[in-house]
Amino acid sequence: MSARAAGSLMPSPWLEAHDLCKRFPGVVALKGVNFDVRPGEIHALCGENGAGKSTLIKLLCGIHPHGSYEGSLRVAGQPAAFRGVRDAERAGIAAITQEFALVDELSVAENIFLGREPRRGWRIDWPRLHAEAAGLLRQFGLPISPETPVRELGVGHKQLVEIVRALGKHSRLLILDEPTAALTEQEVAVLMENLRRLRREGTACIYISHRLEEVLALADRITVLRDGATVASLEAGEATIPGLIRPMVGRELTAQFPARPPPPATQTAPLLAVRNLRVAPAAGAPAFLRDLSFHVRPGEVLGVGGLMGAGRTELLLHLFGGWGRRLAGSVELAGAVLPATGGPREAIDAGLVLVSEDRRRFGLILDQDVGFNLSLSSLGQFARWRGLDRPREHLANQRWMDRLRIKAASQAVRVGGLSGGNQQKVVLGRVLMTGPRVILLDEPTRGIDVGAKREIYELVGELTAGGAAVLVVSSELPELIGLCDRIVMLHQGAVGGEFSRADFSPERLLAAALGQAAAA
């Protein structure tokens, strides 16, 4: 606890951020962040998905260069104007994100010294490189040889090698974004121990994690972000888990929700029933989705929430036949079992459709026109022995364009040139044309304007009024609360809590997502 005591003596901050604002076209990601980090301090950043944490980090480590944001940044008392990542690195800031920046085919030692290899004349000084790398690894208590190719390392060791590499650059500030998301308990312990050692040696650290126990155990101070602004800054000694959750929630509504009719009677037979589902990413891997059970009735909207990486998208993709290997459990649609081996075609034929969160990558053929995309999943309806019935297809496309109010001059307009909202409507039209009974929507309003959001909410209402069951995954708690009849919160691949409308409160939902159902 000596480091905490030292922290309370308040040495002058090493990094100071004043009123940082960052705008993207159509969105304000940061609106007034105030923040500082002292040398030898572990400073935790908390906040919901989309609170602005990633934007803040990208700004600190030079990915968003000076001039692209407002506000001031000072490092070691001097104004800092990073033009790029290299400037930030030279100033002593190193960020380790969830996407690894290691070269898989090179050895651990080569990765640690990538781009700054010790030289003798014009040749690389291999003996020195290996000796120094071995020294750094030993200091970290990492039992790996510097000559091991990085591709042979597990995720945990890769993470630690990245940290070693950052320290090899004599960084004064380490930024760790969800470093423990993929680590085993033992690897977490090694990481924690090393971070505490670095703190004693005077290295500062910004630590981002959704695991609040970890944050409380490790951090000296905690700053909470919400809607792009700092809303609380606490000394770790004063903080409690409910005390952290409270400022995190309470995000503003960005759209009005249409009124929902009363939910269907509880004795109505479910349209989709999922029982004890266990799914692994691939054969032989441990289960990622664990013992999931839930159901959706006809006319009902079930929300699926959870933090990034909780398994929301994987769950929807698995139900649709597009992800993972089922280890146990069953999925029933209107009483009929959906076989675990079926693919998307079988799901569509059974009446279950998916609208993916990434419409440009998974939802659309961007180079083709609106009509091509709308009818793509329903071509069987227009097939004849002498070819597709194109006039009938044209009319069906037109009906969906009108019903969804897709704003395009004609069906012959290329989909890639439409706005986000209209692209999303084309994906919706494509899946709805197949006549589904269960509709899975993954982040259906991501990146679209307020008007189109409202239209999509209304469409969900129309679909359920027609007897369909809808599953909505959303990172926005207000959206889940405004749109759904019931909500299931996922936590690390399992159900963290299930709520009916009377129990909806942002605090309770977020606590369930954090695995803290008892805290709220």
Do strands 42-46 and 221-226 pair parallel, antiparallel, or not at all (unpaired)? Answer: parallel
Question: Contact letters (x/-) for other proteins, 151-190, by CB under 8 A?
Answer: ----------------------------------------
Closer to other proteins by CB, 288 or 320: give it.
320
Please, is 387 exposed, middle or buried when counting C-beta atoms within 10 Å of its C-beta (0-12, 13-18, 19+)?
Answer: exposed
Q: Which of residues 306-325 bind other proteins (CB under 8 A)?
A: 320, 322
DSSP state of 180: T
* CB-based contact 316:471 (threshold 8 Å): yes
Binding residue for other proteins (CB under 8 A) from 86, 138, 392, 399? 392
Residue type for 377, please?
A: S
Sequence-separated (6 or more) residues with CB below 8 Å from residue 21: 28, 30, 31, 32, 33, 69, 70, 71
Q: How far is 418 from 407, CA to CA, in rounded Å?
A: 8
The answer to whether residue 379 forms part of the interface with other proteins (CB under 8 A) is yes
Query: Does residue 430 belong to the site contacting other proteins (CB under 8 A)?
Result: yes
- The 10 Å CB-count burial string (b at 16+, else e) for 313-332 is bbbbbbbbbebbbbbebebe
Least distance from C-beta 182 to other proteins, angstroms? 24
Minimum distance of other proteins from residue 382's CB (angstroms): 8
**C-alpha 39: how far from its chain's center?**
30
**Closer residue to other proteins, CB minimum distance, 74 or 394:** 394
Cβ proximity to other proteins: between 174 and 468 the closer is 468
Q: Which is nearer to other proteins, 88 or 440 (CB)?
A: 440
In this complex, which beta carbon is closest to other proteins, that of residue 334 or of residue 388? Answer: 388
Q: What is the biggest distance separating any 2 CA atoms in the chain, rounded to whole angstroms?
A: 84
Among 18, 119, 197, 345, binds other proteins (CB under 8 A): 345
Q: Find tokens 């929630």 and name the residue.
A: 249
- Least distance between other proteins and beta carbon 414 (Å): 7
Task: Report the nearest approach of other proteins to the CB of residue 440 (Å).
Answer: 11
Nearer to other proteins by Cβ, of 269 and 395: the residue is 395
Q: Tell me if 386 sits within 8 A of 379, measured CB to CB.
A: no
Residue whose CB is less far from other proteins, 44 or 353:
353
Which of 183, 220, 246, 238 is closest to 1 using CA atoms? 220
Q: Name the CA radius of gyration of the chain, rounded.
A: 26
Classify the phi-psi angles of 173: left when phi > 0, otherwise alpha if psi is within -120 to 50, otherwise beta: beta
State in angstroms the smallest separation of the CB of 423 from other proteins: 12
Q: For residue 285, what are the contacts with CB-CB under 8 A and spacing of at least 6?
A: 325
* In the complex, minimum distance from the CB of residue 271 to other proteins, in angstroms, rounded to a whole number: 20
Closest approach of Cβ 295 to other proteins, in Å? 24
Backbone angles phi, psi at 429, to 5 degrees: -60, -40
- Tell me which stretch binds other proteins (CB under 8 A): 100-108, 151-159, 363-371, 399-407: 363-371
Measured between alpha carbons, how far is 260 from 255 in angstroms, rounded to an integer?
Answer: 15
Q: Which 322-341 residues touch other proteins, going by CB under 8 A?
A: 322
C-alpha span between 390 and 445 (Å, rounded): 32
Regarding 368 and contact with other proteins (CB under 8 A), the answer is: yes
Q: Closest separation between CB of residue 236 and other proteins, Å?
A: 44
Please pick, from the candidates 229, 279, 354, 484, the single residue that binds other proteins as defined by CB under 8 A: 354
Q: Contact between 380 and other proteins (CB under 8 A)?
A: yes
Instruction: Candidates 269, 328, 336, 365: give the one binding other proteins (CB under 8 A).
Output: 365
Tell me how far, at minimum, the Cβ of 381 lies from other proteins, in Å.
10
Segment lying near other proteins (by CB under 8 A), choices 108-116, 132-140, 268-276, 370-378: 370-378
Question: According to the binding rule CB under 8 A, does residue 376 interact with other proteins?
Answer: yes
Contact between 356 and other proteins per CB under 8 A: yes
Where would I find the beta strands (DSSP E) of 236-371? 272-280, 289-296, 301-306, 325-333, 336-337, 352-355
How many C-beta neighbours within 10 Å does residue 471 have? 26
115 binds other proteins, rule: CB under 8 A: no
Among 387, 402, 409, 502, binds other proteins (CB under 8 A): 387
401-420 binders of other proteins (CB under 8 A): 414
Residue 170: burial class (beta carbons within 10 Å; 0-12, 13-18, 19+): exposed
Q: Which of 326, 394, 403, 454 lies at the binding interface for other proteins (CB under 8 A)?
A: 394
- Residues 6 or more apart whose CB falls under 8 angstroms from that of 104 comprise 149, 150, 151
Q: Is 446 in the site for other proteins (CB under 8 A)?
A: no
Find residue 35's DSSP bridge partners. 17
Query: Given the rule CB under 8 A, which residues bind other proteins?
Result: 320, 322, 343-345, 347-349, 354, 356, 361-368, 372, 376-377, 379-380, 383, 386-392, 394-395, 414, 430, 434
